[in-house]
C-alpha cells in the first residue's frame, strides 16, 4: 500500500494497481456451506458498481449517512468501501430513523423501515441471489446493481478528514480508518503481502471491521471471513486454516 493513501477507497485503488488477481476477501457461511472468494479486481468491480448505485441510483450526497443493517459478510465489505468511495458515512448497525438511507439484510427489514430515505435489501443468499419478491418498501440490491458501471469516479473529491464510519458509537474519518488499520495490522499478524487472516469477529465493533476488512486491505494481505466460526470444531477449523493458507487468526 502507498504511504499517500488517506481513505479506504485509496487503499483499494493501490491494491488494484499492485496485484489485481490476488485474493482479497474469502467468505465462508458455515450455516449454508457457501464459500466465495473475491480477488482484488472482482471486489473492486463490486465496489464500483455499488458506488455508482449510491451516487447515481440513490442520489446520495457526500456527508449523508447510510445505515448498514448487515452482518459480517462479503457484501457488507463491498458496501463499506462503496460508501468510502462516494464520501458518505457508513453507519454500521446505526439507527435507521436518524439515517438518510438504509441497507438491510434478513431480520432487519422491519427496523430499517423507520428510514424515510432510499432503502435497499440484500438477501445475503449464496451467489448474491435475488429475492423472489423484495421486502415491502425496499429495492432489491441484486436486481439493480448489475446495471451500474464497472468504473467509478466521484462527482466531488472525497475529503479524508470528513466522517466516514460510525461503529459501536464511535465515529472515524477516512484518514483515521487508514491510520488505525495500519496500526492494527502488526498486532493481528498481518506482516505484509501474502499474510492471510482468518477472522470470526462480527462487524459490530471496530476490532471486527479492522480484522475483517480494513487491516488486511491496509497491509496488502487478505481476509478469510467466517462469521459462523463457532459452528466448526477444532479439527474442521484446523483443516480450514491449512487449506486457506491462513497465517493468523482473530477469534
pLDDT at residue 101 in the model: 98
pLDDT at residue 1 in the model: 67
Tell me what the mean pLDDT of segment 188-209 comes to.
Answer: 96
Q: What is the pLDDT of residues 135-170, one digit of tens each?
A: 999 999 999 999 999 999 999 999 999 999 999 999
pLDDT at residue 127 in the model: 83
pLDDT at residue 2 in the model: 79
C-beta of residue 109 within 8 angstroms of C-beta of residue 92 = no
C-beta of residue 200 within 8 angstroms of C-beta of residue 229 = yes
Q: How many residues does the chain have?
A: 251
Residue 212 CA neighbour count, 13 Å, CB half: 28
By C-alpha distance, which of 219, 207, 206, 214 is closest to 247? 219
Tell me what the mean pLDDT of segment 31-36 comes to.
Answer: 94
By C-alpha distance, which of 60, 76, 63, 65 is closest to 25? 76
In three-state form (DSSP H/G/I as H, E/B as E, the rest C), the secondary structure along the chain is: CCCCCCCHHHHHHHHHHHCCCCEEEEEEECCCCEEEEEEHHHHHHHHHHHHHHHHHHCCCCCCCEEEEECCCCHHHHHHHHHHHHHCCEEEECCCHHHCCEEEECCCCHHHHCCCCCCEEECCCCHHHCCCCCCCCCCEEHHHHHHHCCCCCCCCCCCCCCCEEEEECCEEEEHHHHHHHHHHHHHHCCCCCCCCEEEECCCCCCHHHHHHHHHHHHHHCCEEEECCCHHHCCHHHHHHHHHHCCCCEEEC
Task: Give the N- to C-terminal CA distance of the chain in Å, as an integer.
Answer: 25
Domain at 8-250, CATH class: alpha beta
pLDDT at residue 170 in the model: 98
Q: List beta partners, residue 34.
A: 29
Close Cβ partners of 63 (under 8 Å, ≥ 6 residues apart):
87, 88, 89, 162, 163
pLDDT at residue 182 in the model: 97
Tell me what the mean pLDDT of segment 33-61 comes to.
Answer: 97
* Residue 48 pLDDT > 70: yes
* Residue 128 pLDDT > 90: no
Alpha-carbon distance of 92 to 167, in angstroms, equals: 5
* Residue 192 pLDDT > 90: no
Q: What is the DSSP pairing of strand 23-29 with strand 34-39?
A: antiparallel
Alpha-carbon distance of 182 to 190, in angstroms, equals: 9
Amino acid at each position: 500500500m502507498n504511504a499517500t493513501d488517506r481513505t479506504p477507497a485509496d487503499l483499494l485503488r493501490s491494491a488494484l494497481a499492485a496485484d489485481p488477481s490476488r485474493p482479497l476477501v474469502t467468505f465462508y457461511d458455515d450455516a449454508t456451506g457457501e464459500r466465495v472468494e473475491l480477488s482484488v479486481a472482482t471486489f473492486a468491480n463490486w465496489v464500483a458498481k455499488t458506488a455508482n448505485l449510491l451516487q447515481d441510483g440513490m442520489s446520495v450526497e457526500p456527508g449523508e449517512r447510510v445505515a448498514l443493517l448487515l452482518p459480517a459478510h462479503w457484501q457488507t465489505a463491498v458496501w463499506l468501501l462503496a460508501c468510502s468511495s462516494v464520501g458518505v458515512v457508513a453507519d454500521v448497525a446505526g439507527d435507521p430513523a436518524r439515517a438518510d438511507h438504509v441497507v438491510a439484510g434478513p431480520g432487519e427489514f422491519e427496523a430499517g423501515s423507520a428510514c424515510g430515505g432510499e432503502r435497499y435489501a440484500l438477501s445475503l443468499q449464496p451467489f448474491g441471489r435475488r429475492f423472489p419478491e423484495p421486502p415491502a418498501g425496499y429495492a432489491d440490491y441484486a436486481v439493480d446493481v448489475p446495471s451500474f458501471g464497472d468504473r467509478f469516479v466521484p462527482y466531488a473529491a472525497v475529503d479524508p478528514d470528513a466522517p466516514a464510519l460510525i461503529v459501536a458509537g464511535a465515529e472515524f474519518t477516512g484518514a483515521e480508518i487508514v491510520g488505525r488499520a495500519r496500526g492494527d495490522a502488526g498486532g493481528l499478524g498481518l506482516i505484509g503481502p501474502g499474510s492471510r487472516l482468518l477472522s470470526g469477529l462480527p462487524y459490530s465493533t471496530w476490532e471486527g471491521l479492522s480484522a475483517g476488512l480494513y487491516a488486511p486491505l491496509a497491509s496488502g494481505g487478505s481476509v478469510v471471513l467466517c462469521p459462523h466460526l463457532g459452528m466448526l470444531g477444532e479439527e474442521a477449523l484446523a483443516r480450514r486454516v491449512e487449506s486457506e493458507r491462513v497465517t493468523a487468526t482473530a477469534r
